[in-house]
Amino acid sequence: MIGQGTPEYVFGIAINGVKMEPTAMEFFVNPKTRQMNMEWSKEALSTNVDLGDDCNNAHVQPTGEYHYHGTPWGIIQQAKENSMFLIGWAADGFPIYYKYGYASNDSNELVELTSSYKLREGNRLGDGISAPDGVYDGTYVRDFEYVKVHGDLDEANGRFGKTPEFPEGTYYYVITDSFPSLPRFFVGTPNKSFKVEGGMRGELGGFPRGKRGRDRREHPSIVQIFKHMDSNNDGKLSKEEVKGPLQRDFTKLDTNDDGFITQKELENAPKPQGRQGGQRGQRGRQ
């Protein structure tokens, strides 16, 4: 398999033509030297990381290009309920589907396919200066580990089997609701046309990051989030209604443990680490 996070390649293209890039090139920053530890890349979908993603787990790069970091919910809404829906194509030519697959090649029963990744238990071994310390909470990609028997999918978040488009069978990637959402490995050889050229995005053309779109993006407001997700208009969000990072951190945000997230609870949630002063200037490609 090629590349955890595949940062040197765009992972794939959705059926609407938008790029899929699961990796955010943001890292743990040494608080003394301001140097980045590139072994500890931040997880784009963590609520502790602020990339300005919208309700489609996507945002605009400094180059002006819109891309997905996670499940493209706008496309998912076009699919029939509980269907095996083709989302796009990976750079190595294999198809990408959303979360459902056939139970076996001899069955037409669709089942939800689960990731084999899980959040590590315990605390990181870093000192908080050269590497992060604290509990494994999903802030970093390395907070998760692949456990072969934990789910249905392999390390690339895919499997071999039949699909509606390939009834004889093919390898296909799966976008899951839990980590990693978008796959992080290639099983085949990515086409060179998907290779990221010119170094880290945001430094292209000699423009500083703040002048090429980073500062122009709009963060969805809490009112917008509720308008988008509160399907029954009861003024609170259940775990079935929330999507993306809110789903992953639901229990953390539901401070009174009543099974719902209110606007007040969301307003009082801790601010993402990415908003802290001093880290913006250390950010690379997103």
Residues 23 and 94 in one domain: yes
Residues 148 and 17 in one domain: yes
- Confidence at residue 203, expressed as pLDDT on a 0 to 100 scale: 34
**Contact assessment for residue 62 and residue 50, using Cβ atoms and an 8 Å cutoff:** no
Residues 232 and 196 in one domain: no
User: For the residues 168-173, what does the mean pLDDT come to?
Assistant: 96
For residue 277, name the pLDDT band (cuts at 50, 70, 90).
Answer: very low
Express each pLDDT in 232-274 by its tens digit.
888 898 888 776 567 667 888 889 999 999 988 888 876 554 4
Cα 141 to Cα 258: distance, rounded to the nearest angstrom: 30
- CATH code assigned at 264: 1.10.238
Q: Quick check: is 283 in a domain? A: no
Residues 213 and 227 in one domain: no
Q: Which of 56-70, 133-147, 165-179 has the lowest mean pLDDT?
A: 56-70
Express each pLDDT in 185-206 by its tens digit.
999 999 989 987 643 333 322 2
**Contact assessment for residue 12 and residue 273, using Cβ atoms and an 8 Å cutoff:** no
**Contact assessment for residue 182 and residue 20, using Cβ atoms and an 8 Å cutoff:** yes
Residues 65 and 134 in one domain: yes
- Confidence at residue 79, expressed as pLDDT on a 0 to 100 scale: 78
Domain boundary among 219, 237, 265: 219
Q: Residue 70: which domain range?
A: 1-219
Domain boundary among 219, 246, 266: 219
Residues 20 and 76 in one domain: yes
Q: Quick check: is 279 in a domain? A: no
Average confidence score pLDDT of the chain? 81
Q: Quick check: is 86 in a domain? A: yes
Q: Quick check: is 131 in a domain? A: yes
- Confidence at residue 268, expressed as pLDDT on a 0 to 100 scale: 82
Residues 208 and 229 in one domain: no
Is the pLDDT at 78 greater than 50? The verdict is yes
Q: Which of 59-68, 169-178, 224-233, 253-262 has the lowest mean pLDDT?
A: 224-233
Q: Quick check: is 284 in a domain? A: no
- C-alpha pair distances (Å), 182 with each of 115, 218, 257: 11, 23, 29
Is the pLDDT at 18 greater than 80? The verdict is yes
Residues 100 and 207 in one domain: yes
Residues 178 and 248 in one domain: no
Q: Which of 59 and 119 is assigned the larger pLDDT?
A: 119
Q: Which two tokens stand for residue 246?
A: 């809110």
Residues 171 and 61 in one domain: yes
Q: Quick check: is 54 in a domain? A: yes
**Contact assessment for residue 274 and residue 44, using Cβ atoms and an 8 Å cutoff:** no
Express each pLDDT in 203-232 by its tens digit.
322 223 333 333 333 445 677 677 767 878
Q: Which of 137 and 224 is assigned the larger pLDDT?
A: 137
Cα 177 to Cα 179: distance, rounded to the nearest angstrom: 7
Domain boundary among 179, 199, 219: 219
Is the pLDDT at 174 greater than 60? The verdict is yes
Nearby residues of 210 by Cβ (< 8 Å), 6 or more positions away: none
Residues 207 and 230 in one domain: no
For residue 53, name the pLDDT band (cuts at 50, 70, 90).
Answer: confident
- Confidence at residue 153, expressed as pLDDT on a 0 to 100 scale: 96
pTM here?
0.69
Q: Quick check: is 10 in a domain? A: yes
Number of domains the chain is built from: 2
Is the pLDDT at 281 greater than 60? The verdict is no
Residues 162 and 208 in one domain: yes
Q: Quick check: is 282 in a domain? A: no
